[in-house]
Structure 1
Amino acid sequence: MSQLFRILAVATVVNAGLLGQVFAHAHLKSAVPAENATVKVSPVEIDLTFSEGLNLKFSGATITGQGNATISTGQAKLAISDQKTLVIPLSTPLVPGAYTVNWTVLSTDGHKTKGSYTFTVKP
């Protein structure tokens, strides 16, 4: 019985360690414009809010439009209110059409994640 208890205790510790690593990654919680949203006017910036604080030096996003053309953006920054919101200023207004936001972030605990989503600017 003692041997079984030790095996279960070790398994529990290993499992908790692995779960901690999974939950430590910065996951996209919300975005403005939101995923699959249709907006009436061009946003002036893209705001990506994550579940963890971000390392700005290794975090960013690219926006592509029609024909996979890259949209010009300003330098990414973190929102003043927290270290979890990545702000991507747009250099010029977006014309009507579909856009894809591709993001890559490094959380302050050293885990890198990436993802993408789309939104549309209404004609």
Structure 2
Amino acid sequence: MKKLRHLLPLALLASLAFTSSAWAHAHLKSAAPADQAVVAAAAAPADLMLVFTEGLNLNFSGLKLLGPDQQEIKLGQAMLMDQGKSLMVSVPSHLGAGKYTVQWHVLSVDGHKTEGSYHFTVAP
């Protein structure tokens, strides 16, 4: 029984080490344009760049851009950059004034799904 008491803390420590890596998800670290950013119409983004805390699986990751009227805006092909941690998509058409919503969903390389959204505004 004494031997088991010595093994218990070791087993607990090992299980914590393995579960902490299992809790990892790809979280949005930064975006361009940033959440709640206001950009001038002349400087409206030609690309959307979302940077995550982990590498992504491109086949199961993507984003939508909704215009001020909540209609989806057609975007270019998504691509990964920065060792798979950045998701970049081109915006082929000029964005007019208004509030835009970016909705994203990603699958990290370790198999965890996350999703979210944020807003930015193009000023007239």
TM-score (norm 1): 0.87
Partner of 2:108: 107
Q: Residue 46 of structure 1 aligns to a residue in which SS?
A: strand
Q: Residue 66 of structure 1 aligns to a residue in which SS?
A: coil
User: How many percent identity over aligned positions?
Assistant: 43
Shift of 1:8: 2.5
Alignment deviations for residues 6-35 of structure 1 (CA, whole Å, 9 cap, x no partner): 333222222222211123x21111110011
Structure 1 outlier segments of 4+, above 6 Å: none
Measure the CA separation in 1 of the matches of 2:46 and 2:38.
15
Partner of 2:30: 30
For structure 2, list consecutive stretches of 5 or more residues without a partner in the other structure.
Answer: none
Q: Residue 111 of structure 2 aligns to a residue in which SS?
A: coil
For structure 1, list consecutive stretches of 5 or more residues without a partner in the other structure.
Answer: none
Q: Residue 63 of structure 1 aligns to a residue in which SS?
A: strand
TM-score (norm 2): 0.86
Shift of 1:37: 0.7
Q: What amino acid maps onto 2:17 in structure 1?
A: A
Partner of 1:73: 75
Measure the CA separation in 1 of the matches of 2:14 and 2:70.
46
Q: Residue 73 of structure 2 aligns to a residue in which SS?
A: coil
Q: What amino acid maps onto 1:62 in structure 2?
A: K
Partner of 1:61: 63
Q: What amino acid maps onto 1:106 in structure 2?
A: L
Larger-Rg structure: 2
State the Cα RMSD in Å.
1.6
Shift of 1:97: 0.8
Shift of 1:43: 0.3
* Higher strand residue share: 2
Give the total of aligned pairs. Answer: 121
Shift of 1:3: 3.5
Measure the CA separation in 2 of the matches of 1:82 and 1:12.
31
Q: What amino acid maps onto 1:113 in structure 2?
A: T
